[in-house]
Amino acid sequence: MKSLLCTVILFSSIAYSAETLSQAPSMQSPAMMNDQAMLTIDAKSRLQDLLQAYDLLKKERGSPKVFLVLKNGEKLSPIVELTAMNNQTLLLVRYGTGQGTQLRVLAIEDLDSVMSTP
């Protein structure tokens, strides 16, 4: 009787494990999830690209027309000045508001894009 009980428990445990594994999400790497490739970019390179894009747009469109779009959808405008911190993972943003010039420090992973209005 004791061995029958152990056998039932063992088979139940194996069946549960098999069912759990079949219902688990596939073990794809994050780079291949949802049929989209993930590109890893060095933080310093990303920040330098953003600063270069800002400078080019500022020359082309004029400073008041350049703005930052954050990952959360927020827009900071007009951008007065962008300054990279020494380790180039943070960006000091000086931008205009109705209350005057504001300062904000942003992590580069919070930045989505630099844009300009026509």
Residue 85, token pair as written in the block: 């911190």
Backbone angles phi, psi at 115, to 5 degrees: -135, 170
Q: How far apart are CA 43 and CA 70, in angstroms?
A: 16
Task: Answer yes or no: pTM beyond 0.85.
Answer: no
- pLDDT tier at 90 (50, 70, 90 boundaries)? very high
pLDDT tens-digit readout, 37-83: 777 878 788 899 999 999 999 888 876 789 999 999 999 999 999 99
| 18-32 pLDDT per residue, tens | 454 455 554 555 555
Average pLDDT over residues 103-110: 95
